[in-house]
Each structure stands twice: as structure tokens, then as C-alpha cells.
Amino acid sequence: MKSPFINQNQTPFERYKRQLDLPEIGLSGQKKLAGSSVFVIGAGGLGAPLLTALAGAGVGRIGICESDHVEYSNLNRQFFYTPGQLGQSKLQLALAFLRQYQPETEWIGCDQAFSAETAGEVILSYDLVLAAVDNRKTRWMLNQAACERGRPFIDAGIKGWDGYVLFVNPGHTACYACFCGGCDPAASASKDSNSREFHARELRARDIHTREAQDKELHASELHAEQFHAKEIHAIDKDAGMNHMNKESQKIRAEKKPSVLGATASLVGSLQGQLALRWLLLGNSEMPEDLLLYNGRTSQIDKVKLKRMPDCPICGNL
């Protein structure tokens, strides 16, 4: 494998001299990044800033799984792609962009839809797994595969102005299933998905509220339920505001796709990338055990305590 911190046309480490002075990096840290590997699922709004951050820092081997093709509605946030590339493979376009941006990194592409059958084998080939996806089913599957194989997992999600990042250290921190109250999204779809009470019960089952910060954390949890899952498992209210929306907006609502601000995707994807680099350099001891919730309207990041569920169907026995 080529070294991503030495270029034949530059002096060694020239590309990284602005980060080498950081005490967490230095020459030894840069070499550690060069020998690291990460697997990223998704090369869209979250994946683009995430992948660029990892490549720019000098991660040596990066795998990308992406099976979609470019759509016009992607372009407000997915900067790997242009209007002239509609209908083309996101994976091939992303790889072309990233290989030019960082030719010393080993890039591995997978254009198959990520499945439970292939997840385990792929994950074992990498140090860290990162989800940059837009649906709970894939997050659940990735979380399960990572926990079963002891691979650290970083998930992120966005909606509108807001977003979240969650780090999972299997057997030591709450996993994504704990985050969801142990409810498999495939199973929860058959329940009363229009009911806020269902989400309230799901959130209470997580036991993430402490008495000292009950009001603040309850607000943060309700924010999560409303902002990150509502569009995925709630029916669309077709009456509210539909008369004032154009045809494209009506189509997006009809398909139950969440609203997304491009700047939010870039910020949350970059935060996810920073946590990934932090883990690659410093390991589990320096990672947050809290759910990070970003509120774009107030520019505030809240930390919500997540506790492992003793009866979690994914990590309960770890």
C-alpha cells in the first residue's frame, strides 16, 4: 500500500504540515492514520464531507459502499456531483473525485446495496465503520454487524437544520438499538407509527434521563424523535401547507423524504469525520459516550446521556 503521507513531488509530510503540530498527531500519529482503514456506507450529503475529511487527514485505506445514482434533488448538499452527471453512478463519481483529491489513499468501492449477508465479512476488513445513510433499517443492520464483530461504529443523521452523531463501542457504550429503545424499525413499522405516544414510550424505554438534567434531556430526546425519525416512520400530513408547495416539494413529501439543509449535512458529516479521526488516533478512551445533538437554529450541541439497555437485542449479551 502506498503511503498517504509521502508524495514523490513533495518533501515527506508536506501535505500534512498544518496538522502535524497538533499534539495528538505529530509524526507518529500521521503514520498511524496512514496505517488505518475505515469503511463508509453512503457517499451523499453526510458521506461527502466525511470522506473528504478522512482523505484529507491521511487515512490510508478507505472503503465506500454506495449503490444510488445522482438525482437532481441531491445537489443542494452532495458536492461530489454536478447537474451534468444526473443518472450516473454515485460510487464511480465519488471515487473519481476522491482519487484526484487524495491519490495516495487506497480506495475500495462497492456498488452493491449493503446487506446483512455481506456486512460481516466486509466489516472485518476495516478498523472502523461509519454510517452516512438516511434510513433506520440500514443503521440497524450496520449496528448489528458491527456489534457482533466487535467493530467500533459511528452513526450520524440529519433533518432540516438539525443533526446527531452517535459513537458505539460494542459491549461498552449504548448501541443504536439501545438508542431506538430496542425496537427494530422493520417491526415498529407495523405498530401505531402515527402516534407520538408510541415514540414517548420508546424514548422512555431507553432510560437516558437523569434526575439532575431531566428537563433538558427530555427536550433533547423529544427533539430526536421529532426531527430524526418522524419522516421515516410517521405518515405524512398531506393537508398542512400542501397548497403552498410546488410540485417538486409535493413529490418529496409524498415519498416521505426528510427535508435537508446542505450546510447541516456538511457540518454533521464533518463532525462525524472528526470523531472518526479522534478514534483512529486516540482510541476508545477519548471518545464521547453521549449522543451529540446539533441544533442548527441555535448553533448549540447538546450531550444526551445514553445508557445501555440490559435487554438490548443487539448488545445486551456483550
Domains of the chain (ranges; CATH) run 36-305 (3.40.50.720)
End-to-end CA distance of the chain: 34
Is the confidence at residue 81, as pLDDT, over 80? yes
Distance CA 1, CA 107 (A): 11
66 phi and psi angles, rounded to 5 deg: -155, 125
What would the mean pLDDT of 210-230 be, rounded to a whole number?
A: 42
Closest CA to 227 of 194, 271, 260: 260
| Residue 213, SS3 per DSSP | helix
Which residue has better confidence, 186 or 238?
186
Closest CA to 161 of 295, 269, 46, 50: 295
pLDDT of residue 285: 86
For the record, the C-alpha cell of 53 comes out as 475529511
Is the confidence at residue 221, as pLDDT, over 90? no
Distance CA 291, CA 301 (A): 10
User: Of all helices (H) and strands (E), which one includes residue 297?
Assistant: none
At position 260, the amino acid (one-letter code) is: V
Is the confidence at residue 166, as pLDDT, over 90? yes
Q: What is the CA radius of gyration of the chain?
A: 20
Grid cell 442548527 is found at: 296
pLDDT of residue 223: 46
Per cent of the chain over pLDDT 90 is: 63
pLDDT of residue 79: 97
Supply the DSSP symbol for 81. -
Distance CA 179, CA 33 (A): 30
Instruction: Give the pLDDT band (50/70/90) at residue 286.
Output: confident
- Number of neighbouring beta carbons within 10 Å of residue 34: 21
Is the confidence at residue 254, as pLDDT, over 60? no
pLDDT of residue 258: 76
Task: Find the range with the poorest average confidence among 82-86, 90-94, 191-195.
Answer: 191-195
This prediction's pTM: 0.79
Distance CA 264, CA 162 (A): 7
Pairing of strands 128-131, 106-110: unpaired
Is 97:142 a contact under the CB 8 Å cutoff?
no
Residue 200's contacts (CB-CB under 8 Å, 6 or more residues apart) are 222, 225
Residue 185's contacts (CB-CB under 8 Å, 6 or more residues apart) are 136, 137, 140, 232, 233
Is 133:141 a contact under the CB 8 Å cutoff?
no
pLDDT of residue 185: 66
131-143 per-position pLDDT tens digit: 999 989 999 999 9
102-115 per-position pLDDT tens digit: 999 999 999 888 77
What would the mean pLDDT of 72-90 be, rounded to a whole number?
A: 97
Q: How far, CA to CA in Å, does 73 sit from each of 76, 165, 204?
A: 7, 24, 36
Is 237:196 a contact under the CB 8 Å cutoff?
no
pLDDT of residue 188: 52
- Mean of the per-residue pLDDT values of the chain: 81
Supply the DSSP symbol for 88. S
Distance CA 111, CA 313 (A): 30
310 phi and psi angles, rounded to 5 deg: -55, -30
Beta strands in the chain (DSSP E): 37-41, 61-65, 106-110, 128-131, 153-159, 162-168, 290-295, 300-305
What would the mean pLDDT of 185-214 be, rounded to a whole number?
A: 40
